[in-house]
Amino acid sequence: MREPLVNPEPLGSRVAAGRGALPAGFALMLLGTVLLAAWTQILPLGVSPRWAVGSTGLIATLVGWMLVRQARRSRARRHRLDEGRARHPHEPWRYDHPWNPAGAGERPGPDPFDVAMEVALYVSFALPFNLWAFEAGWSAPGVPLAALLFDLSFAHLSARAIRDARGRARNGRCRLLFPDRFPFRLGETARVTFLPRQPLEPRFVLRCIEESGEESFELFRETQEWACDASGLELEFQLPDRPGLGTRLDHPTALRYWRLDVMADLPDGERTAGFLLPVYAQVSLTAAADPQRDAVSCR
């Protein structure tokens, strides 16, 4: 089974960046600095309107900063993967992801600094349209409409972010425990313990997902529905005996991983949590030792 995923929430977008991102980021930051200097008249370039120059400089600076930040993250990750691959060529779970042998938490949300940068970038796009609409009025009807569209979109995104944050604060964060072993092996039974913060009647969907470029595909799916209270629920999943479905997080673009999605209906809407699972292919005894819980080093 290989089906395209709808709304895949790709994992690769958090870690991948092209090698040209760093020079492009520095070039945009330099361009933005020059334009901001012209806007403040530190550099008397005589360009106008000044607000357009300033907003363009702000956009270029923010985009450049985000590219540089992402490129440095990707470079650090490549270095960690190369070092881990050299030390543990047959044990990728030791270096491809910061696994916790005891269990997994919900997939973390976006970094607050990244969110702040994205908000600033959005505002820098919307600001020139609002200034232009203020100056032009309804003599150019398309400008106020574009400004209104930007403002409504920003208000919608802000309201959704606040609602999601309030929901997480009210309902708490769930956890998943690995009581038997780490990592899980294809062809064996994966036993996990789900710990909610309140009684739920959730639906559990175990997926094997492959990302290639901009596309995400579902290679395996199993669904279970149970009721559970705050004391927890033990789950068992029979993993398929197909070596081609093992986790692969050390590839720069083509990623493969297992995720357990938990969905439950609450009074304030649907609650969804996602957990990455360490599911790897069987390793021969001559290639690597049998992994033990207390022998795993998590990075």
Name the class of domain 173-295: mainly beta
Query: Residues 149-169: what's their mean pLDDT?
Result: 74
pLDDT greater than 80 at residue 109: no
Q: Which of 74, 76, 71 is nearest to 21 (CA)?
A: 71
Query: Residues 76-86: what's their mean pLDDT?
Result: 85
First to last CA, the chain: 33
CA 124 – CA 118 distance, rounded (Å): 10
Tokens standing for residue 177:
């425990």
Q: What is the pLDDT of residue 291?
A: 40
Tokens standing for residue 151:
């403002």
Query: Residues 169-175: what's their mean pLDDT?
Result: 67
Tokens standing for residue 225:
């529905």
DSSP state of 94: G
Find the range with the poorest average confidence among 132-141, 175-184, 275-284: 132-141
The share of the chain scoring above pLDDT 90, in percent, equals: 18
Mean pLDDT (the chain) is: 78
Find the range with the poorest average confidence among 36-45, 214-223, 249-258, 282-291: 282-291
- Across-strand partners of 193? 177, 234
Q: What is the pLDDT of residue 205?
A: 93
Contact in structure between 224 and 207 (CB atoms under 8 Å): no
Q: What is the pLDDT of residue 268?
A: 58
CA 126 – CA 149 distance, rounded (Å): 9
- Could you write out the DSSP letters of every residue in 267-280? TTEEEEEEEEE-EE
The pTM score is 0.68
Distances in whole angstroms, Cα of residue 84 to Cα of each of 60, 93, 239, 256:
36, 9, 26, 18
Q: What is the pLDDT of residue 140?
A: 64
Q: What is the pLDDT of residue 6?
A: 47
